[in-house]
C-alpha cells in the first residue's frame, strides 16, 4: 500500500511541476497567445486541403503548406490589411480635425433638440469626445503594430503545424488522457466550433455589410464603402450588431436636416439589414454550429478584454471550448447517481 501511495505522490508532484511550468510559460508568452490561437484556427480550416494535396496529389509538404499560407493571406489578410489602412487614414483625419467633427455634432444635436425637444449630447460630453478622439490615434497605431506582430507569429507557427500535421494529431491523440470516444468527440466538436466562430461569424457580418452597402448606395450616403467596412465590424458585435452604424447615421442625418435620408436609412436598417442577419443564420444553420447568443455575448466581453478586437472571434470560441471540456470531464470522470448500479432492496421474509 505504501508503494502505491508513494507512486501516487510522485505522480501528483510531477503534475504540479508541469502545471507550474505551464503557467510560467503562459504568463511570459501571453502577448503571443492571439497568434497561437490564429494558427490553430487556420490549421483547422486548412488541414483538409493540406492532407488532400500531400496524400492525394503527392505534393511536397513544404510546397503545399506555402501555397495554403499564400492563399489564406490573399483571402483573409489582404482585405484586413486594406481595412487597417483605411481605418488608420480615417482615424488620423478625425484626430487632426476633431474640432470640425465636434462642431458638426453640435449642429446636429441642436437640430435634434429643435425638432424633438431633447438633446443627446451635452457640452461636457462633446468636450470629452473631442479629447478621446485626439488621444485615440496613438493607441490605434499601437494596436495595429501588435496585430501585425501576432499575424507574423501566426504564420510562423501555422507553417510548422501544417508540415507536421499528421504527426502532431497522432501525438495529441496518444497523450490526451481521455477515453478514445471522448478524444474523437473533442476533435469533432472543436472543428465544428472553429468553423462556427472563425468562419460563420465573419461571414454573416459580411452579408450584413453587403446588404447595408446597397442601402448606402441607394440613399446616397457619403463614403458608402467606408461605412460598409465599419458595418462589417460592428455586425460581429452581439445584441447591437449593424445597428451601431445605421441608427446613429440615421439620427445624424435627421439632425442635419436630411429628413428623408435619415428616415429611409432607419427603416432600411431595421427592416432589411436586421432581417438579412436572421436569413443568413438560417441558411448557414446546417453548415455551422448554432452558438448560443449568451455564449457569444460573454465570449465577446471576455475576448475583447483579453485580445482586443480579434477577441470578437476567439472569445466565443474559448467559452464554447470551456463548456465542451466541462461536458467531456463529466462524461469521463463523473458518475451520476442514476448511472450507478442499483442494489435491490431485500423485501424481507414473506408471510
User: pLDDT tens digits for 272-294?
Assistant: 998 888 788 777 755 666 667 77
pLDDT in tens, 300-325: 788 777 776 677 777 888 888 888 88
The verdict on 158 and 120 lying in the same domain is yes
Domain C-terminal end among 175, 198, 222: 175
The verdict on 143 and 195 lying in the same domain is no
Could you tell me which of 70, 32, 39 has the C-alpha nearest to residue 149? 32
- 306 and 315 Cβ atoms separated by less than 8 Å: yes
The verdict on 99 and 201 lying in the same domain is no
User: Would 4 be classed as within a structural domain?
Assistant: no
The whole domain housing 299 covers: 181-333
The verdict on 80 and 128 lying in the same domain is yes
3-state helix, strand and coil shares in percent for the chain, rounded to the nearest 5: 85, 0, 15
User: Would 138 be classed as within a structural domain?
Assistant: yes
In the chain, the percentage of residues whose pLDDT exceeds 70 is 71
C-alpha cell at 84: 487597417
The verdict on 191 and 329 lying in the same domain is yes
User: Would 142 be classed as within a structural domain?
Assistant: yes
C-alpha cell at 273: 439589414
The verdict on 158 and 190 lying in the same domain is no
The interaxial angle of helices 123-163 and 165-175, nearest 10 deg, is 100
C-alpha cell at 180: 478514445
Q: Return the top range by mean pLDDT from 65-74, 93-102, 199-208.
A: 65-74
The verdict on 65 and 205 lying in the same domain is no
The verdict on 202 and 91 lying in the same domain is no
Would the pLDDT of 103 be above 90? no
**At 199, is the secondary structure helix, strand, or coil?**
helix
The verdict on 69 and 136 lying in the same domain is yes
Task: Quote the CA–CA distance of 288 and 299 in Å, as a whole number.
Answer: 18
pLDDT in tens, 129-176: 555 655 555 555 555 566 677 788 888 999 999 999 889 888 888 888
User: Would 23 be classed as within a structural domain?
Assistant: no
Could you tell me which of 130, 147, 190 has the C-alpha nearest to residue 32? 147
Residue 347: the pLDDT is 54
The verdict on 44 and 138 lying in the same domain is yes
pLDDT: which is higher, 80 or 285? 80
- 158 and 69 Cβ atoms separated by less than 8 Å: yes
The verdict on 86 and 188 lying in the same domain is no
User: Would 212 be classed as within a structural domain?
Assistant: yes
User: Would 106 be classed as within a structural domain?
Assistant: yes
Which of left, alpha, beta for 60 (phi over 0: left; psi -120 to 50: alpha)?
A: beta
Task: Quote the CA–CA distance of 64 and 53 in Å, as a whole number.
Answer: 6
Domain C-terminal end among 175, 190, 222: 175
- 273 and 210 Cβ atoms separated by less than 8 Å: no
Gyration radius of the chain over CA positions:
27
**At 69, is the secondary structure helix, strand, or coil?**
helix
Domain C-terminal end among 141, 156, 175: 175
User: Would 267 be classed as within a structural domain?
Assistant: yes
The verdict on 54 and 38 lying in the same domain is yes
User: Would 348 be classed as within a structural domain?
Assistant: no
Number of domains in the chain: 2
The interaxial angle of helices 224-234 and 201-218, nearest 10 deg, is 150
Query: What are 212-221's contacts with CB under 8 Å, separation 24+?
Result: 212/242, 212/245, 212/246, 212/269, 212/273, 215/246, 215/265, 215/268, 215/269, 215/272, 215/273, 216/265, 218/268, 219/261, 219/264, 219/265, 219/268, 220/261, 221/249, 221/261, 221/265
User: What is the residue-averaged pLDDT of the chain?
Assistant: 77
Would the pLDDT of 213 be above 60? yes
Would the pLDDT of 349 be above 60? no
Amino acid at each position: 500500500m505504501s508503494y502505491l501511495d508513494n507512486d501516487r505522490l510522485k505522480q501528483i508532484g510531477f503534475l504540479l511541476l508541469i502545471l507550474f511550468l505551464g503557467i510560467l510559460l503562459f504568463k511570459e508568452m501571453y502577448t503571443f497567445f492571439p497568434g497561437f490561437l490564429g494558427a490553430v484556427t487556420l490549421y483547422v480550416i486548412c488541414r483538409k486541403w493540406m492532407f488532400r494535396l500531400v496524400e492525394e496529389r503527392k505534393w511536397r509538404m513544404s510546397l503545399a503548406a506555402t501555397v495554403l499560407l499564400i492563399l489564406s493571406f490573399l483571402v483573409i489578410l489582404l482585405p484586413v490589411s486594406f481595412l487597417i489602412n483605411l481605418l488608420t487614414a480615417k482615424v488620423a483625419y478625425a484626430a487632426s480635425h476633431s474640432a470640425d467633427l465636434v462642431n458638426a455634432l453640435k449642429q446636429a444635436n441642436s437640430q435634434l433638440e429643435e425638432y424633438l425637444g431633447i438633446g443627446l449630447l451635452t457640452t461636457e460630453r462633446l468636450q470629452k469626445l473631442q479629447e478621446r478622439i485626439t488621444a485615440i490615434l496613438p493607441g490605434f497605431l499601437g494596436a495595429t503594430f501588435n496585430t501585425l506582430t501576432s499575424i507574423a507569429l501566426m504564420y510562423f507557427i501555422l507553417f510548422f503545424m501544417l508540415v507536421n500535421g499528421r504527426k502532431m494529431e497522432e501525438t495529441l491523440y496518444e497523450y490526451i488522457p481521455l477515453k478514445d470516444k471522448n478524444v474523437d468527440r473533442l476533435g469533432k466538436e472543436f472543428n465544428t466550433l472553429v468553423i462556427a466562430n472563425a468562419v460563420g461569424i465573419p461571414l454573416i457580418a459580411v452579408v450584413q455589410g453587403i446588404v447595408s452597402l446597397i442601402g448606402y448606395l441607394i440613399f446616397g450616403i457619403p463614403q458608402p464603402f467606408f461605412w460598409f467596412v465599419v458595418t462589417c465590424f460592428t455586425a460581429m458585435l452581439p445584441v447591437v450588431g449593424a445597428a451601431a452604424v445605421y441608427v446613429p447615421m440615421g439620427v445624424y442625418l435627421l439632425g442635419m436636416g436630411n429628413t428623408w435620408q435619415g428616415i429611409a436609412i432607419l427603416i432600411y436598417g431595421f427592416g432589411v439589414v436586421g432581417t438579412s442577419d436572421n436569413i443568413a443564420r438560417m441558411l448557414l444553420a446546417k453548415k455551422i454550429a448554432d452558438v448560443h447568443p449568451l455564449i457569444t455575448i460573454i465570449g465577446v466581453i471576455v475576448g475583447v478584454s483579453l485580445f482586443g478586437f480579434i477577441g470578437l472571434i476567439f472569445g466565443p470560441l474559448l467559452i464554447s471550448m470551456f463548456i465542451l471540456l466541462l461536458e467531456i470531464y463529466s462524461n469521463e470522470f463523473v458518475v451520476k447517481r442514476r448511472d450507478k448500479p442499483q442494489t435491490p432492496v431485500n423485501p424481507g421474509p414473506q408471510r
